[in-house]
Structure 1
Amino acid sequence: MMYLAVLLALIPASAQADDDKDMKSIERITVTGSRIVESLDEVPASITLIDQQQLQENLKVSSELQNLLALAVPGMAPGTGSTSNFGQTLRGRNVLVMIDGVPQDTPLRNGGLGIRTLDAASIERIEVVNGATSIWGNGAAGGVINYITKKPTENAANVMLSQSVRSSLVKTKDSLGYRTVVSVDGTEGKLGYVTKLSQEKYGVQRDADGDILGLQYGLSDSQQRDAFLKFVYSLDDSRSMQLSYNYYDSAQDANYRDVPGNIDLGGKTYAVPLTQGESAPGAPQGPEGNYNLMAKYQDNELFSHTALVVDAYSQKIDNVFFWSPTLANPEQGFNGGQSAILSEKDGLRAVLTSSVALGQLDATFVYGLDMLQDVTSQPLLDQRIWVPEMDMGSHALFVQSKWELGDDWTLKAGARNESVSVEVADYTTLKLCTNAQTCSTPFAVSGGEIDYDATTYNAGIRYRLSNAFSPFVSYSEGFEVPDLGLLLRTATVKDISLIQSEASVVKNYEAGFSSELDALYLNIAVYRSESELGTGSQLDKTTGIYIPVRAPQKIWGYEASAEYRLSDAWQFSAAYGYTEGKDTKNDIYLGARQISAPKLTSSVRYLPTADLSFSMYWLHVFNRDRFMPNTQGFYTGDQGPVHSYDVLNLSANYQFNNWQLFGGIENVLNEDYFPARSQSFRYGSGYSVKGIGATVNLGVSYTF
């Protein structure tokens, strides 16, 4: 809370600025790519914008943001079908998830839960920067996903009530769930406000055979709650102050147990009801109560041709994971265990934007300071320490420039210097046993301080030859501290300085073009990224535990997306993404923790009248088979083969007066499939879970 207190003490009375753009003008602009508002045709990089129409169409089918991102972003791995985005990379690298520029991930111990941190009803649009970026610093090696939250309307008060129900179409028993959303927004004088409360309760999730999906990271019998508040206060035309708060929790409290299945033998993991007298081990899994408190001060005329934006934020994360028998220690009486990632962050960001004319050149400079304090740990709920407390302090100075070279050329270049220091006290690694005979050896590790310092650069140029052909080339470096908690908990040395904990600088090269030909909008890009010290995993046969492996990596791929408006009634879109990568030291392909199978997505929208609309989204995942099984015929780690599958979703919406009726069907053809992650991940039976079968969602909303 320190940075928030400092900001609130220093900020004078202020005014709202630049928040009144209509939705049409927002559709082709971004603030994420370079931390200022700019048109997409000025950006020498691939950026995906997910607008309010796409959000609403997908909300009619499912509120899961994982699914939406997999359908909309060519380089994004397919959805996992669970609460976890572990393995859902962007262009084969970790992605930084943000809410209005505030990071939601826990990079010191990456639990793969960053995507589900905000209810989709609070989001105005999503901006995705594809590929490594030095603009935002640590964690953005694969790109950035930025949830831009809703802004107040100009009305005195706009109230919306929405209620929907959800059920399996294969077998309805115990599958009924509901979703409730209440929102109020508007403007009273100089004060604008947005308030939104949502609650969603899932029944059991069933696959195409009607069986209950496995519970690890599952949604069956889970409940999510979200509260979002935003206040914008204005005194004049150039200055504004904004305060927002988001609270999110989720818990799966299911009276079921898993029946393990081995996917190599054609089996699946599914759940069955507990028998009389049987109880589920451990506590409910999910975020126990994560919050973000954010304050912003904006002055569009700090002095001549210079604007200032200052953001301060405080965040608390408490993510509880599933109970696992691999966290056992029979000597101490533990037959398993359950961990939680705890993280507390305080951050401050100050950004100045100056516009200058240098002869015939128009230039814009974006420069400033980022500061962050992050304390993260991963204890077990039974009080054993698995990952000790890591106390990180970081600060970064950055400058980004944009040069308008005549009417046709835009040149961008910048640099960022980041200094990170992590302190860890002395600790002892846990003795963990997969069975009575297979246990890890605990090590007493002397703590200390780990320091990182790196300067990363970026440069790119776009040539607007015509609407029909606007090519670009770019080079950008991303800085990434490794998953330090994973390295600490598997340490086999007696001093922290001996752990291979060096950071990586990811070098990203990209070329592409965009075209706008009457009703057709097209984007194509090819890319390559390199890192001298990536992170993979390898099974230790002695202990039965997967340990991290650091090795140089090379990743490459290409993407294409297209939108076509046949008429006012018919709209089409499609996107294809291909990513591949290798461990260049050993000349072997990278596994599915990083590299996903190629995928093709497409959508059709039909709007026969102004009040009625239909949409269809189709996902096709292609094969990826790069690895050989072991001598027993089984695959290990993240090296399982992926076989192709298809998922088709439908939705419809009808508006009359203040009422809206809507409905959607997920997996309308009831495809019987394992999601790509389930096929490739062989870390245990908990991942061998099939995709959801045909599921219907019906609802009504009223606005007044």
Structure 2
Amino acid sequence: MNYKSYSLITLSVCATMAANAQDTSTSSNTQEIEHVIVTGSRMQESIDEVPASVSIINNQTIAQDMLTSAELQTMLAIHVPGMAAANTGTNTNSGQTLRGRNALIMIDGVPQSTPLRNGKLGIRSLDPSVIERIEVIKGATSIYGNGAAGGIVNYITKNANSEKALSGRVGISSNFSAVKFEDSVGRRLDVAIDGTLGKFDYVLSLVSDESGVIRDSEGDALGLTYGLSDFKSDNLFTKFNYYVDDSRSFQFSYNYFEGQQNTDYIAVESNVNAGIKSHAIKNVNNIEVPGDPQGPRGSHNAKLQYRDMEIFTNTDFTADAYWQKIENVFFYSTKFKDESAGLVGGQSMITSEKTGLRLNFNSVFDFDNVETTLIYGVDVLNDKTAQPLVDGRMWTPEMDMDNIAGYLQTKVIFDENWVVKAGVRRESIEIGVNDFNTLMICKTGKACTVPVSVSGGTLEYDATTYNIGLRYSNHEIFSPFISYSEGFDIANVGSLLRNAQFTELNKIDTEASIVKNSEIGFSSVYENIRFETAAFYSTNNYGGNMAEDPLTGTYRLERAPQKIWGYEAAIDVTFTDVLDAGLSYSWLEGKNKENDTYLDGGSISPPKITAYINYQASENLRLAMNYTGIQSRNRFVATNGKYSGRKAPVSSYNVINASGSYTINDAIKLSAGIENLFNSDYYSHIAQSHTFSGWNVKGKGRTVNLGLTYNF
């Protein structure tokens, strides 16, 4: 491990820990939980003091959305301006970027993304029923390190909410296509208990969710590439807290999530250029379909946390030790054929195991009525990631990464109205790779790639990133902010290795990609109206786009500088105690700075409009509706009448969902939700822009979800 260049951070941390500060009394936070965030700086703070764009999806919104669908990528698309629209009915978040870049997905701060070989499956890594709230920080950030080029999506899981020894709920629901009922019935069972026993509290949740065949607006089964038709997922979640005293506590949490697609339907694949949709048909002839079931075979997340709110004067200390392991299986492909070995195809999977330790100190001082907060500490991470084939062949070799980072963040509030935040983070990374051979890839109508023998070695990355922001919060009607932040990103090293055209590892370009994000915006609260808007400009020295090799049809990482810019606006209005609504608009664009060409649909999503309305019709009846509208984007020219890669044009479309719940008594609640209420016939922007075979799948048609919940 390379530990150089830590002198600045080490001195800062040591000086702070040795400081003999004055005693201060910290005022209690009187904000509603919806207006408090912990992800942005690893401490609890008011959203109105954060000089950056933040979105929070609270528990009530999550529960309301789940009456319609349990797909997390859809919830994020509806409620987070800047998050690209989702590809409904699929298990991937490919093409669903945050402000045009990849977001770091976390569960209680434990990373779920696999940035060493980004398979873009991290968004759907747990069941939404165990989430208390979702915090989204937009723009590059230096507080959490690698993989957060576009920002952070942090799933904050539930704690015990009952003072009784035992309370809980049992929920059952079923969904089905309202267009064509055949084979479409799914079922869901959700059991959760929690309670408090003296100094101990606990949460335990078990969810089993099995879908039927998912159908589009014409009644056809959706395609099977990344598909959720006949997809069964199971989620086990548990969390235990032990409170030693008023200031010290231990917490242990564990989440297990798996999902597999077992279907008797077979794929009928096409592509955008053919003008025929990809779909699936019933396997009435019992054709043998090669490959293992798609989906996560098992995702484990375990975390042990110790917290001391007064480890020394005015200082809160948190230590997190965590372990995460995943195994995600992709779809079967004939491109992995090897006639010499008698193989007609193959199936890849991403395996990743992370162990980490985070030591975080939070010290608060008051100097002449200037409140100063210092957040400082060390992150240590080991990440072993690879992409083998199910049959044992290796596509992307194992990458063994050791990462140590020190950081210092400051927050200063003066004159009670001005908030200044600034920070620095120093990263040092070593990635060990053994000798390996690249895999021969043979696509239909293309030349096969030529395998290369590569001598292994060690890749070294070192980077220092900075951030600074200013917010003025004296007037609720106008609270402006401006910020500059940097993020550190290793641009999908696995893709560079699996497509290697070099014989020695040390010939790879190891310079880190530094993402620089500038942002300006404001929030405004006037009586019952809240308005937020922001504009941003983001650059990086090395991009992460995948460019197609026209000879072989494979994709290589494009290491060219990029720029992305855009703006967002959102308004929320509480009309009465029983009626509220909101509207948002997002627009962004991006270019390759090297050749001044537009970035493709893998990064840039079309403009997005969302809206929602909630109505408490009576004490027992609650109704809700949300809308997503995607506008068009057409930046590329066809070659010989055909588009390539992710450069096909996108046409506009609109989707409306509706839901309602009726509380019979304190124990029993009935619910109903309709996804795609008006049965809109559309392809998602991802299905339209991506020209790959099997990707041009239509969105879900009208789908009904009925549920019953019993609380005790």
Q: Give the TM-score category using the shorter length.
A: over 0.9
How do residues 53-132 of structure 1 correspond to structure 2 at under 5 angstroms? 53-81=60-88, 82-132=90-140
TM-score (norm 1): 0.96
Structure 2 counterpart SS, 1:323: strand
Q: For 2:34, which of 27, 34, 53 is the aligned residue? A: 27
**Residue 656 of structure 1 aligns with which residue?**
664
Residues 331-340 or 385-394, more deviating? 331-340
SS in 2 for 1:57: helix
Aligned pairs for 1:315-326 within 5 A: 315-326=324-335
Taking the TM superposition and a 5 Å limit, the aligned residue runs for 1:359-374 are: 359-374=368-383
Please state how far the C-alpha of 1:535 moved relative to its aligned partner.
2.0
Contact 1:256/1:280 (<8 A) preserved: no
Q: Name the aligned partner's letter for residue 635 of structure 1.
A: Y
1:39–1:24 distance in 2 versus 1, CA, 3 Å: closer
1:189 to 198, 209, 222: 198
2:245 is matched with 236
Deviations 1:351-370 (A, max 9, x none): 00111122231101000010
1:50 pairs with one of 54, 57, 64: 57
RMSD, aligned α-carbons: 1.2
Matched, 1:155 2:164: yes
* C-alpha displacement of 1:263: 2.3
Please say if residues 413 and 458 of structure 1, whose CA atoms lie closer than 8 Å, have aligned partners that are also in contact. Answer: yes
Aligned partner letter, 2:302: L
Give secondary structure in 1 for the equivalent of 2:346. coil
Deviations, residues 496-555 of structure 1 (Å, cap 9, x unaligned): 122234320000000000000000011100000000111222221222212222100000
Q: Distance in 2 between matches of 1:22 and 1:687?
A: 48
Runs of 4+ in 1 over 6 A off after TM superposition: 21-24
**Separation in structure 2 between the aligned mates of residue 662 and residue 94 of structure 1, nearest angstrom:** 35
Rounded Cα–Cα distance in structure 2 between residues aligned with 1:605 and 1:131 = 29
Report the 3-state secondary structure (helix = DSSP H, G, I; strand = E; otherwise coil) of the residue aligned with 1:692: coil
2:118–2:492 CA contact under 8 A, matched in 1: yes
Q: What is the CA-CA distance between 1:695 and the residue it aligns to?
A: 0.1
Q: Given residue 103 of structure 2, which amino acid in structure 1 is its aligned partner? A: V
Q: Distance in 2 between matches of 1:600 and 1:354?
A: 41
- Structure-2 residue corresponding to 1:356: 365
2: distance between equivalents of 1:108 and 1:345? 12
Which residue identity is paired with 1:48?
S
From 575, 578, 587, the equivalent of 1:566 is 575
Q: Is the alpha carbon distance of 1:258 and 1:22 closer, same or farther for their aligned partners in structure 2, counting shifts above 3 Å?
A: farther
Q: Check conservation: 1:66, 1:85, Cα contact below 8 A.
A: yes
Query: Is residue 200 from structure 1 mapped to residue 216 from structure 2 by the alignment?
Result: no
Q: Of the candidates 375, 393, 397, which is equivalent to residue 406 of structure 2?
A: 397
Provide the residue aligned with 1:3 in structure 2.
Answer: none
Distance in 1 between residues matched to 2:239 and 2:220, nearest whole Å: 42
Corresponding residue of 1:7: none
Name the structure 2 match of 1:699: 707
Per the alignment, residue 639 of structure 1 pairs with 647
Query: Residue 647 of structure 1 contacts residue 667 of structure 1 at CA under 8 Å; is this kept in 2?
Result: yes
Corresponding residue of 1:15: none
Alignment partner of 1:439: what SS? coil
| Matching of residues 402-551 of structure 1 within 5 Å | 402-435=411-444, 438-551=447-560
Provide the aligned length of Structure 1 versus Structure 2. 682
CA distance in 1: counterparts of 2:198 and 2:293, whole angstroms: 45
Partner of 1:5 in structure 2? none
- Give the SS at the match of 1:509: strand
Question: What letter matches 2:364 in structure 1?
Answer: S
Q: Secondary structure at the match of 1:438?
A: coil
The offset of 1:437, in angstroms, is 6.5
Cα offset, 1:679, TM superposition: 0.2
* Residue in 2 that maps onto 1:8: none
- Structure 1, unmatched stretches of 5+, are 1-20
User: What is the distance in 1 between the residues matched to 2:541 and 2:672?
Assistant: 49
| 2-structure distance, mates of 1:435, 1:518 | 62
Q: Match of 2:4?
A: none
Provide Cα deviations, 1:195-241, integer angstroms capped at 9, x if missing partner: 00001000000000000000000000110000000000012100010
- Which letter does structure 2 place at the counterpart of 1:651? S
Name the structure 2 match of 1:246.
Answer: 255
Which residue of 680, 683, 688 maps to 1:679? Answer: 688
Cα offset, 1:575, TM superposition: 1.1
Letter in 1 for 2:501: T
Tell me if the contact between 1:463 and 1:471 (Cα under 8 Å) persists in the aligned partners: yes
Report if the CA contact (8 A) 2:259-2:296 is conserved.
yes
Q: Distance in 1 between matches of 2:378 and 2:31?
A: 32
What TM-score results when the alignment is normalised by the length of structure 2? Answer: 0.95
Distance 1:23 1:207 in 2: 47
Q: Unaligned regions of 5+ residues in structure 2, if any?
A: 1-27
- 2:592·2:598 contact (CA, 8 Å) conserved in 1? yes
CA contact (8 A) 1:292 1:315 kept: yes
Aligned partners of 1:500 and 1:550 also within 8 Å: no
CA distance in 2, matches of 1:30, 1:205: 36
> Which secondary structure does the structure 2 equivalent of 1:194 belong to?
strand
Distance in 2 of aligned mates of 1:117 and 1:549? 28
Where does residue 11 of structure 1 map in the other structure?
none
Taking the aligned partners of 2:221 and 2:664, their CA distance within structure 1 comes to 38
Kept after mapping to 2: 8 A contact 1:326/1:432: yes
Relative to structure 1, the CA distance from residue 698 to residue 437 in structure 2 (aligned partners, 3 Å threshold; closer, same or farther) is closer
Residues 186 and 23 of structure 1: CA distance in aligned 2, closer, same or farther (over 3 Å): farther
Determine helix, strand or coil for the equivalent of 1:322. strand
Counterpart CA distance in 2 for 1:397 and 1:78 is: 35
SS in 1 for 2:617: strand
SS at match of 1:70: helix
Moved more, 634-643 or 351-360: 351-360
